[in-house]
Amino acid sequence: MDFAGEHVLGVDQFDLAKVERLFEVADRMLPYARRERITRALEGAVCGNLFFEPSTRSRLSFGAAFNRLGGHVRETTGFAFSSMAKGESIHDTSRVVSGYVDVLVVRHPEEGAVAEFAAATRIPVINGGDGPGEHPTQALLDYYTLCRERELRPGSLSGATIAVVGDLKYGRTVHSLTKLLALENDIRFVCAAPPQLQLPDALVAKLRERGHRVEQTGDLADGLREADVVYATRIQQERLPAGLELEGVQERFAIDAALYDRVCRPGTVLMHPLPRDSRNDPNELSNDLNRHPALAIFRQTDYGIPVRMALFALVLGVADEVDTTAREARWYRPERFGPHDTRPMLT
Ligand code: ASP
């Protein structure tokens, strides 16, 4: 099973064997992501991060993951400071940058644009989010987190109830994640959202075709009741069509500690791709859950590093050379990253 030279554009290119290989490599990246060890597997390699849409997590975590493999990162953010502001095509930009770097990570506001970058180059291109389309690496790290939280291997989630909550229509992470989880058998997807933000019909049909159960509800408490995992999402304000009426929706689909304790089964895992929209109170996962052991959102972001390291190592063909160049790291590191973390990092 080899990914060398492949683009990573969408989750449909993954089957269970590929997911297993990726997760097995990600497991081996944990000591590097925990900053216990240093590797130089990608020493001399350069990654180009082209981000044409806002990002904190994806851009920094792709960059840090590449750095932790010993490689360098060059990046450009937004259109204003790139030659696209002078009318350069995706084709030309992609071909030009291919002469500078060994792998490209691209985020773009238009669905399909990252595939256009890929069509114009022979270096691997990784989709860092293409508008309302896909966010495959987020889905892979979500799947990895989910497996680690429930102590399961991919392929053994059969019978699980996954509640997806919030903006299921315009949120690309939920599209990628549900499609990826469709590799499992007999998942029960409970979609809790107002009708105007429900999961697109075509996706519902696809999940059902693959033998999964899909239930839709406009009542949040109903949606949470039997969930093993809750995946909350932000309303994608930047993608909503003008005039869409969403009065009161944020409040009706916000989960706080009282609601969790009242309706969720003990141990229900709480996930979110982040960012939480903290301009309004309550937000999708209230701050009063920050100390709750079920809140996996920062474990999710932490796992983004080993998963993205594994992807880079695989598409550049060095996955089995990471340990041969390793040595111990000596600088200070805390045992837990955050003030409210309930577990040591990346366990
Ligand atoms: N960070 C995720 C994305 O880029 C989720 C979000 O923005 O709500 O799609």
> What is the model's pTM?
0.96
Average pLDDT over residues 303-320: 98
- Residue with structure tokens 């590929």? 18
Identical fold, 11-134+304-328 and 136-236+246-298 = yes
Cα dihedral 230, 180, 62, 32 in deg (nearest 10): 80
**Residue 238 in contact with residue 272, Cβ under 8 Å?**
no
CA distances in angstroms from 159 to 5, 229, 231, 307, listed in the order given: 35, 12, 17, 25
Q: Is 31 in the pocket of ligand 1 (CB under 6 A)?
A: no
Give 115-135 pLDDT, tens digit per residue.
999 999 999 999 999 998 999
- CATH superfamily, domain at 136-236+246-298: Aspartate/ornithine carbamoyltransferase (3.40.50.1370)
Percent of the chain with pLDDT over 90: 89
What is the reported pLDDT for 277? 86
- Residue with structure tokens 């709480």? 270
Tell me the β-bridge partners of 271: 231
In whole angstroms, give the CA distance from residue 169 to residue 339: 34
Domain boundaries, the chain: 11-134+304-328, 136-236+246-298
Ligand 1 centroid to residue 172 C-alpha, Å: 7
Q: Is 304 in the pocket of ligand 1 (CB under 6 A)?
A: no
Ligand 1 centroid to residue 134 C-alpha, Å: 10
Edge-to-edge strand order for the sheet containing 229-232?
Answer: 213-217, 188-192, 161-165, 229-232, 269-271
Which CATH number applies to 11-134+304-328? 3.40.50.1370
Give 207-221 pLDDT, tens digit per residue.
999 999 999 999 999
Q: Is 273 in the pocket of ligand 1 (CB under 6 A)?
A: yes
Question: Angle CA(307)–CA(82)–CA(61) in degrees, nearest 5?
Answer: 15
